[in-house]
A and B are shown apart, each in its own frame.
Chain A
Amino acid sequence: MTTLTAAETRAPVHSADPAAGLQSRLSLGTTLSHTFTMAWRALKKMRRNPEQFMDVTLQPLLFTAMFAYVFGGAISGDVSTYLPALIPGMLAMGSLTACMATGVQLREDMDKGVFDRFRALPIARIAPLAGPMVADLVRYALAGSLTFIMGVIMGYRPGGGFGGSIAAIALVMVCGWSMAWIFTWIGTWARSASSVQGISMMFLFPLTFLSNAFVPADTLPDWLHAFSNVNPVSHVVTATRSLANDGALTAEVGWSLIACAVVVAIFAPLSVRSYKRSM
């Protein structure tokens, strides 16, 4: 047992006010800097867990080939005539699948101890959410390019040329990033990573299959046709087709971008609010 030193006998305590000069708000620049630091963390994490890349590497290669050979004959008569319709559809589906993983991984991350520290730090509340999403752009780019490459290997010759193809991939990347906010939002309130997966699947399948992604929409029954027409995925697919196949910048591109902006404007604030509340 040691005798305790009374507080009075300790070295004199500095009298400076430690709270002087501290800011109670964050500037936009600091918020961006926090987001990019979080993106760095997410990239490091990706590099150390390469199995997380399965859904943006093997899956697009496999699914593109599978869909082309299974549906090609039935829908378009043969595989090569189906490809110009299929590849943009696959691009959209690929980025949707990839952004579903954003929500699942956020949920897993939030259950870890390091998120407790993020909450205790004076950092922008959006940074722990937006950081991984910036890093995920790498995943969308990978999924998009591999789908395209697989298509080209199977005989797809995009009429829009190289520029059109790049523009098509860029468009689905933007859309994927915007849609990811929906899954991020689900990630902030769902109870577990597997429930995020389940809930996300429920959104994902109707959105991709009840659209013009894989079949011409006019073959659908009227009520389904009506849904497919308002389904944002249909607009993205149509826009992507026009970019990749004709190199044309149509109004659909504009509509897609507006839809993306709306999604972000709704779900980004919702996500941050729900993340703050989870504290």
Chain B
Amino acid sequence: MVKPPGATLCDMNLTPDTTSTPARPTDVAVQASGLVKVFGDNRAVDSIDLDVRRGEIYGVLGPNGAGKTTTLMMLATLLRMDGGEASIFGVDVRREPHIIRQLIGVTGQYASVDENLTARENLWLFGRLMGLGSAESKRRALDLLEQFGLEEAANRPISAFSGGMRRRLDLAASLITRPPLIFLDEPTTGLDPRTRGQMWQTIRDLVADGCTVLLTTQYLDEADQLADRIAVIDRGRMVAEGTTDHLKGSVGQSSLHLQVSDHEHIGRAAGLVEQILGSVPVLTPEAGTITAPLDNTGRTADVLVALRDADISVASVAMHKPTLDEVFLALTGHATEDGSPAPDSTDYQELEVAR
């Protein structure tokens, strides 16, 4: 995704700062307290507080059905709040839904673009609906298509788009009027790793341009990569909040798994591992495997170098990060109900070493 110099995706200076309006807290983007949503006898969201600062990426992490999307939809005026208070840039969500809609861009879990129109027509339509003139709308559509690497597909019907292209177009449609706050509901669920990386970069670019991003995700890895602060939600309640480091500290560390080719060397290998990582590893001599807690993933290389210097050949190396399941177990005392669909490529980084 190439971003032409000078082009910004979102602009905080869009509206002039008039002195006639009452003073509002300027460093808070979203403030919510005691949010409640009840569906029948299910309290989908049960008293959630959120406090998102301007210019940050705030991640709401939780398994399917935890209430992430419901929370987002209430803040986006798409669902009525059954309880609690919320304001965005100081504007009351319940009382001024029309102003809120002008301040936010929403990109949902499923691409919400018009299947009957081409990519360019879609962006033009949304530009017009957002109050841009026809010519300006056209220009903005072309800019965005270029920024999101969709210019070649500009005149193709959406039905011919891949999942990643749709998601990108969807995000582009949310950015037409450069809203200062963007809601992203599971922006990378169902995307392949490469498209996922592109989406992450786009989200970082948004924040670099001054946007505030509130995103939901079921991947710890994604929250780790993107979010400044994370709220962990389970069964409609917030179970933890803090920076990613803070959260990971509460959960446990990564671990290193080693398998030596020659099982006789396991004792010597374990000694080296202990020397470098400073903790006693757990051994499984029959399989020739060594497992050790890992504070700093960078030390893995030191271990491998030391093993090579000692002439011990390694069959496989794996680094295991805490998964969402483990986070949940640690925070709530119960596992995620559906076993969260964590993709192998991100939560379990394994590399086979053939020697």
Contact of A123 among B106, B121, B129, B207 (CB under 8 A): B129
Task: Check B13 against A16 for contact (C-beta < 8 Å).
Answer: yes
Question: Which of chain B's residues has its CB closest to A10's CB?
Answer: B55
Whether A44 lies near B55 (C-beta < 8 A) is no
B309 to chain A, nearest CB (A): 26
Pairwise interchain contact B101-A121, C-beta atoms closer than 8 A: yes
B78, A279: Cβ atoms closer than 8 Å: yes
Looking at chain B's contact residues, is the secondary structure mostly helix, strand, loop, or mixed?
loop
**Which of B18, B116, B181 touches A21 (beta carbons < 8 Å)?**
B18
Q: Is the CB of A10 within 8 A of B207?
A: yes
Report yes or no: B89 in contact with A19, Cβ–Cβ below 8 A.
Answer: yes
- Tally of chain A residues near chain B (CB < 8 A): 47
How far is A1 from B106 in the complex, measured between Cα atoms in Å?
Answer: 28
Instruction: Output the least CB separation between B249 and chain A (Å).
Output: 13
Residue of A6, A14, A23 touching B228 (CB-CB under 8 A): A6
B117 at the interface (CB under 8 A from A): yes
Report yes or no: B91 in contact with A19, Cβ–Cβ below 8 A.
Answer: yes
B26 within 8 A of A: yes
Are B12's CB and A113's CB within 8 A? no
Q: How many residues of B contact A (CB 8 A)?
A: 65
Return chain A residues, CB-CB under 8 Å to B115.
Answer: 112, 114
| A18 in contact with B103 given A7-B228, A113-B111 (CB within 8 Å) | yes
Q: Does A28 contact B (CB under 8 A)?
A: no
Nearest CB to that of B226 among chain A residues?
Answer: A4
Q: Is B244's beta carbon under 8 Å from chain A?
A: yes
**Are A19 and B208 closer than 8 Å at their CB atoms?**
no
Q: Which A residues lie within 8 Å of B114 (CB)?
A: 41, 45, 112, 114
Determine if A37 is an interface residue (Cβ-Cβ < 8 Å). yes
Asked whether A119 lies within 8 Å of B243 as measured between CB atoms, the reply is no
CB–CB B244/A4 < 8 A: yes
Shortest distance between the CB of B122 and any CB in chain A (Å): 8
Known: A22-B15, A41-B125, A120-B101. 15 other contacts (CB 8 A): A4-B243, A10-B207, A13-B27, A14-B12, A16-B17, A16-B26, A19-B21, A19-B89, A37-B125, A44-B116, A45-B114, A114-B115, A120-B76, A120-B78, A127-B129
